[in-house]
Structure 1
């Protein structure tokens, strides 16, 4: 649960609700839509309470009350001489496919009263992609909506061809009146509740969301060591991150049909399995929650590419970028049902598979996923581009993502003059991931699969890639790696944080790696809170852009692990201190993105206006910092 301005967010078991401070849903769209959501569909678009004809005044706005729950206190307007006759104590919560709203109307005086309580309820079943502020419209031929009063409430239904979803609202006690509003299909439920002197009346409502597909279930629980108990900023950020990851863990189907828990990317737009996000989150948490890595690997293996599909980007062996279960994905009006537009998810899959084996000393998963890992290697060398281009490459997708690395917004992979690179594009960090994947998979091949021939081949490929990388990517004048190579082999020369990922992967020699690490904490890169995605002073730099000057905690987490790898302890401590202090200003929850403004400009980190929170790899970042700091002695 999290408050954002006047809104409150509840999340649990792949279900989330976005509410106003009084617990209402108004049907908003754009950057911050409200509603009850499950599997990319909005199952409640109206939930508005009145008592005696008026909306109650917020005496105490919604605040956390346990996992996935919030409480608020409402009253009618009153004065000093005529205080309100009652107060409404409200507790709302979400669970798997469920939203509950418990109201207690507590009388404040010596006279009995009757309160007329009305709740206006609606369900538009809008797909999340419809609600975004991008001015897109999607045809829905033959769509049918229905609103059906029941003995204890109301049921909403939506059908389009084979797609069907349902929302059922039940109340205890049953409403005295149920009135369907013909114009928009919403429904007014009315109760007349009798409150004795200094007594109370209770009303309990339960909403069951039944999205298309199998019933929603809770994610498997996580185990492992308890969270840190210290009161220092890093320990508090780790504890908050662990809480958020519990809320963001969703059920997914594993490679053998089993149910596994995986970290969803974030709220509100990305409560689903993502390749890159789930892999890096699981890597950060591997020393502390190895079951997340096991679940993520199994779930991604289950949806690994098997055929060629130009619309979704599917290719044999390729690891998925994201999965979607909504209506628009089902009818292929958006390509994201299973969308494979990521150049880096496949090597990161191999990195995590090796890391899980190395960390747990259990080779069961590495054996179980051997065929999937071999297919991933084959994708890297084939369709991924290593054989044809010498590097992992991607071309902009006209139906999906222009950029297919972690900086996937349009214009993020740019020259110093601001021009977007044209494909096929080889971003620098993906080459580091490929190098690391080849090295790690060679060890798995040699020691687990007992295939020394494959191990020698992969090691030779890694050696060749490392030798060519510096020759092709190094910017001599800047003494720094290029962000990418474009389709003509030109160096895309913007100075970007992606270079820090090269330290984590180990593709750079020690001398260059240490120079890069020190460069990243100079003032044009390091804001005082975090390392920016793009160094300030360059033409395309913008501190509130998504990827061209903002600062991402997870990006800094990867860099922190790289700084530790090369023994850059002072630089690491500088980055860790900035991030943990930034976390303290956000209730110890790191947001997805921070504004790139220098620390001297504001007493608090400037927020990025469209940041997801909670967000999985940001929640896991304090744990990556902890791992990095422990490796250099704290």
Structure 2
């Protein structure tokens, strides 16, 4: 994995590490914390190497030779007339729950030397939510860390009530000495004898033992993708996307208790199952990897809501937004253990279920999940709001997500003056998803479940929704759909990219769809690289805002599929070409999100500063573009 600034990330089998240029870990927090992470916890927070009392210089900074292995070359202090006595070659590797390190010290002198190597080690067991730069603080009453020195190294043992996590460090050769330093960290020391022009080796292994996970290390969830050398930039981006999705694949429990492999959302914050993200990622991959959709649907059926729990947003039939395994979720200090605060995951579940049947021609999955699908429809009609409000709606959650569509940051669903809409909020794209879900589920009911009465009912509800939507959402003055309706039924009038999703879902008639498609390619929306989340020149527009002016690959992928659906071939090619160029500038990996700056003003696409990398639906976007361009599955 390529470095991010002066940092390098390694990932494999739901485990990732973030290291500095010398391979160290300093315990940083904020937008890009460093450490060794597994199951939403940091199991290694300090890992500082010194040689002869000083931190060595990075002669060759850490680079990832593969996605889970990094190397660097370090030297102690020296001068031109008194060069370093030895050189340190450092290799670090991440596997399931483990960081291994191989240090090789090579003598540069014609006579024996002794190298004193010290390694400062600590494990703070911080929950990922504690590490975010949002000024939130979480009490941990009774929490304590016990540090034990073992025959081979160290054992960090963390306990809080029934919560128990460990990190072990073992070394060959064993340390000469271990001592305490301030803050609870430990210094492991070695005296390594080096004969003339000889070398010595030091092997270290860090193992994370998270709460609730067996000590047996999980195996790699799937064979890594291999492909013949690509000959064009889109194919290169597709192959890189599949490679990244292999890195993000995690093992979870399916609907009948089986283990399934699904795409996690992204690194560093989201290496876990997400409803919306995993569903759209799987949809983009359908022509190439239908098994990913089947696994995602099974995993989400297994976590489908069963009862009403206001704290987590759980409701019968609702599809989960995200799952978490960390300490704060365990003690319900954050609502995300299983958090259902998404208005769109449930209809997207239904869309993917039918799309899997449509793509594969196999009915077994649709039959297996029939009752889950019916419960999802029931949720849309009841708690989702279709019966009462006429639309899918959400109420902002003050303890979770204020906005519960894909633009889920605070302030993202706004009027042209920048004011956040108040609930219950009906965002435009979710109504399109609902329409598509109803139509598709009606097809399953008729063709697979042999229930024509149910199919007829769903078609009728969908037709009413389509008519009502155009009447309520279309803004004649701007000739464009509103971003949302607020709790008073007012049109939330910011011009936003969500309108492009309406082309994909089919809720707009052909004429209105074509007008939206043409409008999205105007310069205030289309930067030349991508379509922005908000059209420029509106008051709330900001090119570095997460959802109010940036540009997202998956958002553009859905728009491009919609453009192609309505025969807007030139527009679809323009958006696809923009992203092909973005990928080529970024070693063929699409970022989670781009800044909204125009291509005419920047020779390279400007990255959004807090973008996840890799990120699942961005990795799958090139495959959606391939489909939109009519290029088939390829691969």
1:408 is aligned to 408
Quote how far apart the aligned CAs of 1:168 are.
Answer: 0.4
In the alignment, which residue of structure 1 is the partner of 2:168?
168
Matches within 5 A, 1:592-631: 592-630=592-630
Measure, in 1, the Cα distance between the counterparts of 2:368 and 2:205: 42
Q: Check whether the contact 1:147–1:180 (CA below 8 A) recurs between aligned residues.
A: no
Aligned counterpart, 2:198: 199
Q: 1:518–1:229: structure 2 CA closer, same or farther, 3 Å change rule?
A: farther
Aligned residues of 1:86 and 1:105 also touching (Cα < 8 A): yes
Matched residue count: 632
**C-alpha distance in 1 between matches for 2:361 and 2:498:** 31
Q: Structure 1 pair 291/139, CA: closer, same or farther in 2 (3 Å)?
A: same
Alignment map for 1:364-383 (pairs within 5 Å): 364-383=364-383
Give the match for residue 221 of structure 1. Answer: 222
Q: CA RMSD in A?
A: 1.5
Q: 1:531 to 1:445 in 2, by over 3 A?
A: same
| Aligned-partner Cα distance in 2 for 1:427–1:415 | 12
SS in 2 for 1:600: coil
- Give the secondary structure class of the aligned counterpart of 1:518: helix
CA distance in 2, matches of 1:244, 1:150: 38
The alignment status of 1:240 with 2:240, answered yes or no, reads yes
Residue 632 of structure 1: how far off its partner (Å): 9.8
Q: Deviations over 1:247-283 (max 9, x none)?
A: 1111111111111111111111111100001111111
Per the alignment, residue 424 of structure 2 pairs with 424
Could you say which residue in structure 1 is the equivalent of 2:68? 68
SS of corresponding position for 2:83: coil
The question of 1:327 aligning with 2:327 is answered yes
Task: Assess, with a 3 A threshold, how the Cα gap between structure 1 residues 570 and 363 changes in structure 2: closer, same or farther.
Answer: same
Q: Deviations over 1:290-331 (max 9, x none)?
A: 121111111111111001010000000000000010000000
Q: CA deviation at 1:475?
A: 0.8
Partners of 1:223 and 1:121 in 2: CA distance:
33
Q: Please give the alpha-carbon distance, in whole angstroms, between the structure 1 residues aligned to 2:228 and 2:475.
A: 42
Q: Distance between the aligned counterparts of 2:604 and 2:166, measured in 1?
A: 44
In the TM superposition, what is the alpha-carbon distance from 1:228 to its structure 2 partner? 6.3
Are the aligned partners of 1:219 and 1:260 in contact in 2 as well (CA < 8 Å)?
Answer: no
User: Residue 153 of structure 1 aligns with which residue?
Assistant: 153
Deviation string 1:368-392 (CA, Å, 9 cap, x unpaired) is 1111111101000110001111110
What's the TM-score, normalizing by structure 1? 0.98
Q: Which residue of 1 aligns with 2:188?
A: 189
Report deviation, 1:112. Answer: 2.3
- Report the secondary structure of 1:3's partner residue: coil
The answer (yes or no) to whether the contact 2:11–2:247 under 8 Å persists in 1 is: yes
Deviations 1:454-489 (A, max 9, x none): 111111111111111111111111111110011111
Q: Which runs of 5+ in 2 are unaligned?
A: none
Return the offset for 1:222. Answer: 5.6
Secondary structure of the equivalent of 2:412? coil
* Rounded Cα–Cα distance in structure 2 between residues aligned with 1:241 and 1:270: 17
SS for the counterpart of 2:437 is: helix
CA distance in 1, matches of 2:31, 2:424: 32
CA distance in 1 between counterparts of 2:563 and 2:633 reads 13
Q: Which residue of 1 aligns with 2:477?
A: 477
Matches within 5 A, 1:70-109: 70-109=70-109
Aligned-partner Cα distance in 2 for 1:274–1:22? 33
**SS of corresponding position for 1:294:** helix
* Separation in structure 2 between the aligned mates of residue 328 and residue 99 of structure 1, nearest angstrom: 24
CA distance in 2, matches of 1:214, 1:490: 49
Say which SS state the counterpart of residue 630 (structure 2) adopts: helix
Q: Which runs of 5+ in 1 are unaligned?
A: none
CA 1:617 to 1:128, structure 2 compared with 1: closer, same or farther past 3 Å? same
Q: Shift in Å at residue 173 of structure 1?
A: 1.3
- Aligned-pair CA distance for 1:85: 2.1
Contact 2:288 / 2:633 at 8 angstroms: preserved in 1?
no
